[in-house]
Structure formats: C-alpha cells, structure tokens
Structure 1
Amino acid sequence: MKNKKASIPQTGLNRRTFLASAAAAGFAATASGLLIPRESLAADEPQRGGHLVLGLDGGQTTDILDPGTYAGSTMFLVGFTWGDRLVTTDPVSGEALPSLAESWTSSDDAKTWTFKLRKDVRFHDGTPFTVNDAVQTLRRHSDKDSTSAALGLLEEIETIEESSGDLVITLKNGNADLPLMLTDYHLQVQKNGGMDDPNSAIGTGPYKLESFEPGIRITFTKNEDDWNEDRGFVDSVEVLVINDNTARIAALSSGKVHFINTLSPKTMSLLSRAPNIETISTKGKGFYSFLMHGDTAP
C-alpha cells in the first residue's frame, strides 16, 4: 500500500539489489529490522525515479548536521545520504572497499598508509574534491581539542598530509585496520574538512540536502553529478522522524511511508503476514559492549 503523494515505481528492486543499493545510499545501514512495501521488491532490475519516504526512529530536535556529532539511526542515514567517506564496507562481509579513496597501500610495519583518491569528483556546490579536503576532514576529527565522536578512533594518527597528489597517514603504531577505521560514519568528507562550516552538509554523496527540521523532517534531492552511478535510484528522499514504534508501524501500514526501521522480533513476525508489507532482516557488524576502565577505581 502506498501514499499517492509519496510514490515510488510499482516495479522496484529485487531483494539482492535492494539491499546492495540501499546500503550504498545509507538506507539499509541503519537498522536491523527493515520494512518496505512488497511491490517495491518485485522486479529483477532496479528502476530509477520516484520519491522515497522513510519513517525512522532515532532523531532528536537537538540534532545538528556536523557529522562529528551524529548519534542515532536518523542522523546516521542523513550522513550517508549527503556524504561519502574515504573507505566504505561491503554490507555483507564487512570488507573494506574503495569510496573516495580508490586504493591504498601501507608500509611493511603498517605505520605509513598511502591513499590514492578519485579524480573528477565534485561537491554538491560544484567545487572539485581535492586531497586537501580529505586531509582537513581527518585533521578536524583527530585534533586533540576536537569534539568529534571519531576522535577516539583517530588518536593513534601522528601526521596527515598530501604527498605527490596522494593522502598519506602516518600512525604512532602499526595498525592493519586503518582502512576499516576510516569507514566510521562520522568521517564524511567535507569541503575543506568542514573547517569553515561543519554544519553545511555539502558533500559528494548521492543526494543534496534540501531542508533540515531536526527531529521532524529532512528532505533531499538527487545529486545529478554523482560520481557513483550504482546508487541514488530515486529522484528525491524524505525522512520523517517517527520515534514511536506504534506510529511507525501505522505510517507504513497506511502508506504514509515506504520504509521503516527498528522493530522487535515479535513485531517483525506479525507484520510479515501482512500482504502489502515485506520484512527484511539484515546481519549487522555492530556490537554492544561494557567498557571496563582498568585504570579507574570501582
């Protein structure tokens, strides 16, 4: 069932293509239980066009666009929709894959890493993406006085610099997992690293930010100059923040939204019987942990 004012093509994606393309656009990466109208997964090949409406939890009226502050599924998705990281991951295996960085090599001790970056990529305002943008992005998040949530991941970085057109990162100690560390969702590459305006949301991602009402509604339009043609299948995206579980289910069932996230196993089982709803469970790489501060008294 679909709302006529928020329609997507009747013939959409098969399961495999949907999971791959949605993850690339940031849609599948934010939830363990995902739902979408059944007819949208009917076709063998993806169809382009239409307006996609997402009903997501995890948004707050205090949210801001600086990716260093992102917390909660709504802002995770927002970042993946307007931005790109240097490295991304395979949505199934978790393997590090090229994004704005085409390839990378390391020294034998895994302390010095060289990243070759894509050419002919432009930000949403038409500005060319350069190595300096990547350098400044990482410097902003790794600065000792940074308030970025990614600071802890980047504390082992000693230097970040441009060398012969490449990005070179030197670590204090060897780390074979540096490419995976750069897939952190806070590290969306911004023009001049976001030094001028961290809240601009001007990135290289598949969609351009059109409006931002924190905790309420966020809208995007397709980036026609996107460097990656394997994503951004719809023309526009609308995110409605619906933190109440019952309200999200009602919005999907009534056709107000095409897609919702974060449902309990019990709810998933019940909704899987609905003729107009498709339930999708994806494996995630995340985990929850209790931090044990061994250097602090109980």
Structure 2
Amino acid sequence: MEINTAERLVKKGRMSRRDFIQIAIAAGLSAGAANLTFTSYARAEPKKGGRLRVGLAHGSSTDSLDPATYLDYYMGTVGWGALGNGLTSFDETGNVKPDLAESLEPSNKAARWAFKLRKGTEFHNGKSVAAEDIVASIRHHMGDGSKSPVKALLAQISELKADGDTVVFTLAAGNADFPYLLSDYHLPIMPMGENGQADWASGIRTGAYVLNKFVPGVNASMTRNPNYHGTAWFDEVEVLSILDPVARQNALATGEIDYMDRVDVKTLRFLERNEELEIDQVSGYGHYTFPMNVTAAPFNNSDVRKALKYAVDRQEIINKILGGVGDAGNDNPIARNIKYAIDPMPAHTYDPEKAKSLLAKAGFSNLKLELSASDAAFTGAVDAALLFKNSAEKAGIEINVIR
C-alpha cells in the first residue's frame, strides 16, 4: 500500500497507528516522524468545500417536488435530506429530537402537543419560518383530495393552529409517539403562499442546500445554504438517479460520482480492490420480503402462512443473493436495528417436514402458488424467488415464479 493511500485511511479513521507507522517507515519516514504524522492526520478536522456527487438507485421521470408524492429514497434524499427539514428528526441513536422546533411539550395525556419554533430559522428565500408555515405544510397532506402517504398518519389531528411562535396539535387521543410521526420524510416544512397554501412548487425549503435545478428522473443540483441553522459541509451537491447497478458502480469507479447506495453484493469484491474507494458496511433499515395477502385463500389460513415460513431457507438466500451481507428477519418489516423493533430475532428456520405437518393440519397434501418477483424490488429478487421455489418443493409446495 502506498503512503498516500495510508494517509487517506488515517484521515477517515480506517487505519490504526501501528499499521500506519509500519507503512510510513517502509516508505522512508523515521518512527518519530511517522508517529507525529499519524497524530496530525488523526486529529484533522473536516473542512467545508467541494462538490459531492451522489448516485442513487431510485428516481423516476414522474418525480415531483410535491412532498405528498414522494415514493422512494431519491426524493427523500433530495426533498428531505438536502432541501428540507421537519419539525423533528432523529439523532444517531434513533431518538427523536427537535429540528425546526426548539422544544416540544405534551399535555392532556399526550393528546395535545405544543411545538415552539427555533428562533432565527429562515427559508431559502430569506423569509423567517413562522408557525403559519408549519400549519400550511402539515395541512397540505390532510385535505379531502390528498393522496399523500402520510394522510392516514395525520388523520389523528383534530385541531391544528398557530399560536405566536408555537404550533399546537390537538389529537383525537393521546399519542406519546406523535413527535416521531412528524419526522417522516414526506413532511418537510414549506413557506405558505399568498393563497394560504403550502408553496411546494418553488422548491424553497429550510435545509442545508438550495435547489438550482431539478430534472425528474435525472438529477437535482444544489448549492449550500449560507443561512442554514445546522452544518452543511459541501459547497455543491448533485444527486443523480442511476437505476442500473452496473452503471452506478462504473460511475463510482471512474470518479463520475463520489457516493453510491445499494451496492450489488455480487460485485462488491471488485469495488473492494479499488484503493481509491471506501466501502462502509452498516446495518440498514431495508428489508426484503415475499408478502402474502392474508385476506385471500389460502393465505387467510394461519397454518398455511406458518408452513411457508418454514419452507424458505433464509440463510441460503442471504449467502447466495446477498453474498452473506445481511441477517435473517422475523417475518415483519421492521429491521432489528430500529429502536422499537418487535421480536427482532428469527423465530422460523428452514424445516420442510414441519412445513408439511402444518399444511396437513390446514387440509393440504400439497400446495400450488404463484409468486411474482422483479429485480426492481431489490437486486436478485427473481433469483431469491427461485431459491424459495426450490426449498419449498421439499415441503410439497409448488411455486410458479412469475417474472
């Protein structure tokens, strides 16, 4: 390894003092100089500036700046992560914290919530954030014609009003988790227009970056908000939609982008050989499932559902589809690293004989099913469905995989 590469790894916290000193000595530095060099790099503070180019596995030509239409991680990143803020957000431990709110106060057994706004917060156009803007932004999702994904979450609000620099929510019943709901990425705060409605079309928000250009399904380019109430490290950010995993990987390898998500684990080793790249592996919130419609036969029979849970070899899918990068779940869409995960450890392991027994209990000597699968859901979804088909055959279950 070259000394320049070692220096970059130290700055990123990816190399120990001992390893760096060994490489530095081999490159001609004295032990004392190597030790001092390590210390200076390890203590180096991040510097503001530069341009960040992000390639994401989502994005569509139908994307809109209207937060009521956000469907995936792309608009969540652009509309919430870069452009906007909500009343609340999360800290690094998963606990809710005020964001545009300075404080939040429950009363009446958590059926009333008062959010006092942070002082001095401005929209990108210089307008101060007022309680009326919060009210308009929340009501944007609550109208009779709204198709917002968070409309149902907000239905519990029986009254919403501005009171000076405070926003007061009155709920139909007490809800201690209400501040968590307001951290949803569909709920960035927007300025209220002259018509009393939230102005979503301008892209004006309160976030770290100001929108320059937005081409749905292509890219969004932004520059740093000099008046942001938090920290914004980059001068410019561009978020690109690159749906194809190979194209996304090539863009990273050739320096066209600086960051990508959803690495194809089949080619992960190729990226690991590139010393110019850094790969972070962390526990995510994503989950891959084969959902069953429990209102339709035969899935309305709990024994059939249990049989299918025992008929899938989860570990085989993890090993062959995810390259061993992943964990078996417990048949629910809540990742185990989420703060309030319910029964995160797997309760079902591959057991075709037990699956047969459960099918017999449900009145089936064998079972024929159809499973629709597409790699648009997740990379390798079709192959995962075929593995499920093969493992289920040993339990007397015939699965027709529809691509």
The TM-score range, normalised by the shorter chain, is 0.7 to 0.9
8 Å Cα contact 1:207-1:220 kept in structure 2: yes
Report what 1:206 is aligned to. Answer: 208
Q: Which segments of 5 or more consecutive residues in structure 1 lack a partner in the other structure? A: 1-9, 17-40
- Worse-superposed segment, 269-278 or 53-62: 269-278
Sort the Cα spacing of 1:287 and 1:158 in 2 relative to 1 into closer, same or farther, 3 A. Answer: farther
Report what 1:220 is aligned to. Answer: 222
8 Å Cα contact 2:131-2:164 kept in structure 1: no
Q: List, as ranges, runs of 4+ consecutive aligned residues in structure 1 with deviation greater than 3 Å.
A: 10-16, 41-44, 264-270, 284-294
**Superposition deviation, residue 258 in structure 1:** 0.5
Report what 2:71 is aligned to. Answer: 71
RMSD of equivalent CA atoms:
2.8
Sort the Cα spacing of 1:192 and 1:47 in 2 relative to 1 into closer, same or farther, 3 A. Answer: same
**1:1-298 counterparts in 2 under 5 A?**
14=12, 44-79=44-79, 80-91=81-92, 93-192=93-192, 195=197, 197-228=199-230, 231-285=231-285, 290=291
When the two structures are aligned, how many residues end up with a matched partner? 262
Instruction: Tell which has more relative contact order, 1 or 2 (C-alpha 8 A, sep 6+).
Output: 1
1:53-79 CA deviation, whole Å, 9 max, x = no partner? 111120111111111111122111101
**Superposition deviation, residue 241 in structure 1:** 1.4
Partner Cα distance (2:272, 2:284) in 1: 20
Q: TM-score, normalised by structure 1?
A: 0.79
Partner Cα distance (1:148, 1:56) in 2: 23
**Superposition deviation, residue 282 in structure 1:** 2.9
Partner Cα distance (1:283, 1:169) in 2: 34
1:92-128 CA deviation, whole Å, 9 max, x = no partner? x210011001111111411001111112111111111
Report what 1:37 is aligned to. Answer: none
More strand by proportion, 1 or 2? 1
8 Å Cα contact 1:134-1:167 kept in structure 2: yes
More helix by proportion, 1 or 2? 2
8 Å Cα contact 1:219-1:239 kept in structure 2: yes
**Superposition deviation, residue 196 in structure 1:** 5.1
Amino acid at match of 1:268: L
Partner Cα distance (1:287, 1:54) in 2: 22
Q: Which segments of 5 or more consecutive residues in structure 2 lack a partner in the other structure? A: 1-7, 15-40, 301-403
Partner Cα distance (1:284, 1:108) in 2: 36
- Worse-superposed segment, 250-259 or 156-165: 156-165
SS at match of 1:77: helix
- Worse-superposed segment, 66-75 or 206-215: 66-75
Q: TM-score, normalised by structure 2?
A: 0.60
